[in-house]
Structure 1
Amino acid sequence: MKSNTGRRLFQYALHAKKTFIAALLLLSIGVAAELAGPFIAKSMIDNHMLAIEKPYFVSESSHQAAEYRGAYYKRGDRFEPGEARGREVRLLQIGRSFYFIGEAVPRTEGERSFRDGTLTIARDGQSVSYPAAKLSAGELFAFYKPEFPGIYRLVGLYGILLLVSIIAEFGKTYWLQSSANQVVRKLRTDVYAHIQRLPVHFFDNLPAGKVVSRVTNDTEAVKDLFIAVLSNFCTGIINITGVYIALFLLDYRLGLVSLFILPVIVLWIVLYRKVATKYNTVIRSRLSEINAIINESIQGMSIIRIFRRQKERLEEFETLNDDYLKYQNKMLNLNSFTSHNLVGVLRNVAFVMVLWYFGFGSLSGSTAISLGVLYAFVDVLGRMFQPITGMVNQLANLDSSMVSAGRVFKLMDEEGEPVTDGSMPRYKGHVEFKNVSFAYKEGHEVLKNISFRAAQGETVALVGHTGSGKSSIINLLFRFYDPQKGSITIDGKETVSIPKQWLRSHMGIVLQDPYLFTGTIASNVSLGDERITRERAERALREVGADRLLAHLPQGFDEPVVEKGSTLSAGQRQLISFARALAFDPAILILDEATSNIDTETESLIQEALEVLKKGRTTFIIAHRLSTIRSADQILVLHHGEIVERGSHEELMAKEGRYYRMYQLQSGNAGGAAAPSPAPVLSPLPGK
């Protein structure tokens, strides 16, 4: 799973490969410019500051030469080819003082001392003495003066490299974050697009808050992977590579000694992720559950307060929040015990090994190495631990991001409905169910051998108690589910052979509790469909009488609609829903007790519009208030998933069967207008 997640993340990274490559190229340039600093310092120390102990020769030219007691002395490596050299002299340092020796000194290693005009070098039990004169500050400065131009050049080069490093760091950061934003935008778009393709029954088992968490929080964690984690790991890898190249260039033996750091880091990352993945999986899951309970609580806030369940919901939330905190603390302990301690131990061990090398010389039997090399080596080695610290500190984010990416890809791996481009001509709407049986769960049939016909332009009413199967018939008609037995045809063509998007493009629905989206009244009619022009949307609103009911709104049809249309009355929302169905001109129209939540005056407006809306369309009505379906061409009475009666209102009343008893019961209880029973359309619950 981890390798699969990493591979898929890499494929997404390829969508922004140009900017990623540019960022990594600038990163490499910046690292190279930064690591050049110790080499410049080494050159400054060895070739200029301490190079004063190199052999000098008497020169006839004053160019790059030091004047001392009327003669010019030039370093041996400063002579031009063919330029004449005089006798050799040396400058040697003892403590803070320098001494001039007017002859060649073959070996300068050993313990030095000066007394009574004689400089002595003792080594291996033997000593050699040379006549010497102590240099004054001015005389010493004369020998350093020729070194200044070279030092200035190195300082200038260091300034240029510093500027290059700053520019490269800016470009790297900008392009890396830009690439990460592109990748996450692509990932988030793909996740959202895939959610649109998931079958309706998928959302039965996954709360909306958990889905939202995967689209927002988890993809944001993936963004951190590309910005923080990728940046630190790429910087670290390139830095470490550059450091090791620099170490081997300085002294290959010390470079070999330092190689022990690499396997330790790799092993540490592997062991860390084994533990951290367990914690992060729980952390991301708890965060998802927290989002789910917050979403559910906000949606049902009125019910929670009416039934005074605030305390219980708070306790449920606190349980999840405490569990989330517990595992966050476990991750905190893991990071606290690992990140800083690991880097500190590695740093100390590395420097101990360097000191061991210089102290005992066990590698070569000699510790003869220049101070510049030593300084550069310590500087370069120290620079390696900064990226290591960055990498180790990002291990928590790395694992969290990988877990989040795995959750996102798991959602994307859910089988979605195929998307078929194009469309089909508007069908007439002749619907036929032939021996249809259906179960949400195997062995628990909610529809049994359902057979009926609905001709074009007919109105078919579905009645029955809650759980009798009314909504299940509509679910099958929309192909939110497909039957296990039997067939459903429209105009003689089986629905399972018609792409779902094509099938639904000529269907419309008006829910008992209509859903409105954030926008305006007009946009809720057109739903952003280019085929629904502004004129067509307004005409639909007028035809259902919405112009009269919404006339008092300040902005008319451009009145803003907040979430779910909470600022509008139930009647106003229902009118907008009717206008939406009318604007899309469906061949098949489904009404879920569309007038149950509307006052009598508004209902009269809608009843008039219904006659226009139903004309030429096959209409299915899920009805609880039987007085509203007396004009239906066909009434199907369902009981435990079977059609027990069928016919017109008059025919069923004449039979004096189940429909007759239901109608009499409603008429007796409510004077001919029984109170509606909630029956949410398209409910995925078995038996609906």
Structure 2
Amino acid sequence: MKSNTGKRLLDYALKAKGTFIAALIMLTIGVAAELAGPFIAKSMIDNHLLAIEQPFYETAASEEAAVYQGKNYKREGLFAPDETKGAEVRVLQAGKSFYFVGEPVNAPDGDRSYANGTLTVTRAGEVTGQYAAVPLSAGELFAFYKPEMPSIYQLIVYYLIFLVISVIMEFGKTFWLQSSANKVIQRLRNDVYAHIQRLPVNFFDNLPAGKVVSRVTNDTEAVKDLFVAVLSNFFSGIITITGVYIALFLLDVRLGLISLFVVPMLIAWIVLYRKFATRYNTIIRSRLSEINAIINESIQGMSIIRVFRRQKQTRQEFEELNEDYMKHQNKMLNLNAFTSHNLVNVLRNIAFAVVLWYFGAGAITGTSIISLGVLYAFVDVLGRLFQPIIGMVNQLANLDSSLVSAGRVFELMDEKGEPVTDGSMPRYKGNVVFKDVSFAYKKDYVLNNISFKASQGQTVALVGHTGSGKSSIINLLFRFYDPQKGKITIDGQNVKELPKQWIREHMGIVLQDPYLFTGTIASNVSLGDEKISRARIEQALRDVGAERILAHLPQGFDEPVVEKGSTLSAGQRQLISFARALAFDPAILILDEATANIDTETEALIQNALEVLKKGRTTFIIAHRLSTIRSADQILVLHRGKIVEQGAHDELMELKGRYYQMYQLQQGAQGEAIADGSTRSADAFSTSSPSLAGGNV
């Protein structure tokens, strides 16, 4: 899973490879420009500051020559190939002072001391040379340094140029890398949201909305940290470390080999860290999703929580989740504290101590196998080696959290979605046939051998107690699910052979509790469909009688609607839902007890509109109030997944079967015929199906 996650993240990164490559090129140039500094310092020390101890020769030329006691002296490296050299002299340091030696010095390396006009050089306790010497004043010493100053100034200019290049490249690298990361996350978040739109309806039955939201928001934001912060530091770190090691080996191979111990330690560190961090982060991201889910659920059910005084229990559930979340966050904090950059500082100090102990003392006294300039440059470069390591270590927590979050995002994207087919089909007539349809959500069948026909323009009512299969028939019609047995056709075409989006394009639904989106009344009617004009929106609202009910609103049909339309009454929301269905002009219309939450006066207003809405369409009504379906062309009475009665209202009443009993229970008829026999039957029926006695059919 981890390797798969990494590969998929790489695939997303490659979609913005142009800007990523530009960022990496700038990063490489910036690292090279930054590492040029120690080499410039090395040249300044070894070739100019310490070059004063190289042989000087008397010369007649005054350019690039030091003037001492009326004579011109030029350093060995400054002579032209054909220029004549005079007598050799030396300027050597002993202790903190410099001395002029007017003769060649054969073995200047070693311990030096000055006494009574004589400079003595010793190595390993043996005197290797004694020379007559004269102490130099500061002014006289500067005369020997003066020819070096133009080259030193030139190196300083080079240093400043490289510094400017480094600053520009750092800006470019940061901009392009983060720009690329933002593009990647934008694409990932779009893909996740698009995939959510393709997921089957049953997926959302099993996963709380808060958890889905957490994956789209929190988890993708954590992945963004991976591209913006983590990869920036790791890319910078890897390239900088590579450049540093190249610089170290260029300075001195032995010093470079000594410093290689850092690489395996860093790799082992990352592997060991992630072993524990992944375990904690998996739980942390899961708890965060659960916290989002419980918050979302609490907000949605706030009225129920308060009515039944469940605030304390709800708060306790939240606190338990939050406590567990904090416990694992503290475990991550402990892990980060044990593996923080302080350990890097310890390693850095150890490396410095080893190098200085092994090479440093000799370089200062002049007996070292490396020059002081090399040692200075090495210490400088070695310090730069640990800077990116600190940056990488500090991002380990984000790295692991990002990879865990990416795994959760890709897990969601791996859920099988419904295929999306572009295009559309002509508006069908709406002749629906169910033939021997059996369906089960899991193992047990909730529909058994359902067969019926609904012709264009007919109204078919579905009645039955809770769990009888009414909603399952509608779910199959919308192709939220497909039956295990049997066949469903629309205008003679098997629905399984038609793209789901094409079928649903010509279907409409009005729910008992209609859902309104944030926007305006008009936007909730059209749902942003450009095919539905403003005139069509207003006509639909007028046809369902909404003009009278919504006329008092300050902005009329442009009145703002908050989430779920909570500022509107149930009747107003239902009218908008009716207008929505009418505006989309579906061939098949489903009414899920659409007038159940509307008062009698409002219901009277829309009954005529309902007749207009149903005209020419195949209409399915899930009915709880049987009085609203008396005019239905066909009534299907369902019981335990089977059609037990079928026919028009009058036909079913004459049968005096289950529908008759249900109708009499709702009407509360007290006729003698019911008192004789029907009442006993109704009592028996209500005992077996208590939910029906309350009218929830």
The aligned amino acid for 1:97 is S
CA distance in 1, matches of 2:161, 2:252: 26
Structure 2 residue 376 is matched with structure 1 residue 370: no
Q: Secondary structure at the match of 1:90?
A: strand
Paired position in structure 1 for 2:281: 280
Q: Secondary structure at the match of 1:201?
A: helix
Deviations 1:220-241 (A, max 9, x none): 0000000110011011101100
CA distance in 1, matches of 2:535, 2:180: 43
Alignment map for 1:256-655 (pairs within 5 Å): 256-358=257-359, 367-442=368-443, 444-655=444-655
How far does residue 38 in structure 1 lie from its aligned partner after superposition?
Answer: 0.9
Paired position in structure 2 for 1:61: 61
Paired position in structure 1 for 2:113: 113
How far does residue 668 in structure 1 lie from its aligned partner after superposition?
Answer: 0.9
After the TM superposition, which of the residue ranges 597-606 and 344-353 deviates more from structure 2?
344-353
Paired position in structure 2 for 1:666: 666
Contact 1:359 1:367 in 2 (8 A): yes
Q: Secondary structure at the match of 2:89?
A: strand
How far does residue 349 in structure 1 lie from its aligned partner after superposition?
Answer: 3.3
Paired position in structure 2 for 1:89: 89
Contact 1:357 1:367 in 2 (8 A): no
Long gaps (5+) in structure 1:
680-688
Q: Secondary structure at the match of 1:121?
A: strand
Long gaps (5+) in structure 2:
672-691
Deviations 1:476-515 (A, max 9, x none): 0001011111111111111111110001001000000000
Contact 1:624 1:676 in 2 (8 A): no
After the TM superposition, which of the residue ranges 661-670 and 396-405 deviates more from structure 2?
661-670
Contact 2:107 2:129 in 1 (8 A): no
Q: Secondary structure at the match of 1:441?
A: coil
Contact 2:589 2:614 in 1 (8 A): yes
The aligned amino acid for 1:26 is M
- Relative to structure 1, is the Cα distance of residues 251 and 50 closer, same or farther in structure 2, using a 3 angstrom cutoff? same
The aligned amino acid for 1:636 is L
Paired position in structure 1 for 2:676: none
Deviations 1:502-530 (A, max 9, x none): 01001000000000000111111111112
The aligned amino acid for 1:600 is T
Deviations 1:14-52 (A, max 9, x none): 121111111111111111111111111111111121111
Paired position in structure 2 for 1:11: 11
- Relative to structure 1, is the Cα distance of residues 669 and 359 closer, same or farther in structure 2, using a 3 angstrom cutoff? farther
- Relative to structure 1, is the Cα distance of residues 677 and 349 closer, same or farther in structure 2, using a 3 angstrom cutoff? farther
The aligned amino acid for 1:298 is I
Q: Normalized against structure 2, the TM-score is what?
A: 0.94
Paired position in structure 1 for 2:21: 21
CA distance in 2, matches of 1:677, 1:84: 121
Contact 1:625 1:675 in 2 (8 A): no
- Relative to structure 1, is the Cα distance of residues 677 and 668 closer, same or farther in structure 2, using a 3 angstrom cutoff? closer
Contact 1:58 1:71 in 2 (8 A): yes
Paired position in structure 2 for 1:683: none
CA distance in 2, matches of 1:319, 1:218: 22
Contact 1:99 1:135 in 2 (8 A): yes
CA distance in 2, matches of 1:634, 1:50: 107
Q: Secondary structure at the match of 1:50?
A: helix
CA distance in 2, matches of 1:669, 1:344: 89
Contact 2:518 2:563 in 1 (8 A): yes
How far does residue 675 in structure 1 lie from its aligned partner after superposition?
Answer: 10
Contact 2:360 2:375 in 1 (8 A): no
Contact 1:625 1:676 in 2 (8 A): no
The aligned amino acid for 1:456 is Q
CA distance in 1, matches of 2:121, 2:368: 18
How far does residue 208 in structure 1 lie from its aligned partner after superposition?
Answer: 0.3
Contact 2:478 2:503 in 1 (8 A): yes
The aligned amino acid for 1:252 is V
CA distance in 1, matches of 2:336, 2:258: 28
Deviations 1:416-445 (A, max 9, x none): 000011111111100111111111111x11
- Relative to structure 1, is the Cα distance of residues 300 and 439 closer, same or farther in structure 2, using a 3 angstrom cutoff? same
Deviations 1:623-643 (A, max 9, x none): 010110000000111111111
CA distance in 1, matches of 2:485, 2:180: 51
How far does residue 277 in structure 1 lie from its aligned partner after superposition?
Answer: 0.6
How far does residue 351 in structure 1 lie from its aligned partner after superposition?
Answer: 2.3
After the TM superposition, which of the residue ranges 225-234 and 532-541 deviates more from structure 2?
532-541
CA distance in 1, matches of 2:26, 2:395: 21
Contact 1:56 1:76 in 2 (8 A): yes
How far does residue 344 in structure 1 lie from its aligned partner after superposition?
Answer: 2.9
How far does residue 348 in structure 1 lie from its aligned partner after superposition?
Answer: 3.1
How far does residue 360 in structure 1 lie from its aligned partner after superposition?
Answer: 10
How far does residue 137 in structure 1 lie from its aligned partner after superposition?
Answer: 1.4
Structure 2 residue 183 is matched with structure 1 residue 154: no
The aligned amino acid for 1:611 is E
How far does residue 678 in structure 1 lie from its aligned partner after superposition?
Answer: 6.2
Paired position in structure 1 for 2:247: 246
Deviations 1:455-489 (A, max 9, x none): 11000000111111110100000010111111111
CA distance in 1, matches of 2:223, 2:543: 50
Contact 2:450 2:642 in 1 (8 A): yes
After the TM superposition, which of the residue ranges 398-407 and 32-41 deviates more from structure 2?
32-41
Q: Secondary structure at the match of 2:551?
A: coil
Contact 1:436 1:486 in 2 (8 A): yes
Percent identity over paired residues? 76
The aligned amino acid for 2:54 is K
Paired position in structure 1 for 2:75: 75
RMSD over equivalenced CA pairs, Å: 1.6
Q: Normalized against structure 1, the TM-score is what?
A: 0.96
Contact 1:596 1:676 in 2 (8 A): no
Q: Secondary structure at the match of 2:159?
A: helix
CA distance in 1, matches of 2:442, 2:506: 29
How far does residue 121 in structure 1 lie from its aligned partner after superposition?
Answer: 1.0
Deviations 1:312-336 (A, max 9, x none): 0111001111111111111111111
Contact 2:433 2:490 in 1 (8 A): yes
CA distance in 2, matches of 1:236, 1:578: 61
Deviations 1:634-656 (A, max 9, x none): 01111111111111111111111
Contact 2:244 2:385 in 1 (8 A): yes
Q: Secondary structure at the match of 2:119?
A: strand
CA distance in 2, matches of 1:620, 1:223: 47
Deviations 1:49-93 (A, max 9, x none): 111111111111111111001111111100112111111110001
CA distance in 1, matches of 2:664, 2:222: 61
Paired position in structure 1 for 2:228: 227
CA distance in 2, matches of 1:60, 1:635: 124
Deviations 1:650-684 (A, max 9, x none): 1111111111111111111899xx998568xxxxx
CA distance in 1, matches of 2:312, 2:403: 36
How far does residue 13 in structure 1 lie from its aligned partner after superposition?
Answer: 0.6
CA distance in 1, matches of 2:374, 2:359: 12
CA distance in 2, matches of 1:207, 1:394: 32
Q: Secondary structure at the match of 2:436?
A: strand
Contact 2:464 2:470 in 1 (8 A): yes
Deviations 1:330-378 (A, max 9, x none): 11111111123431342133224324532799xxxx8321101001111
The aligned amino acid for 1:224 is D
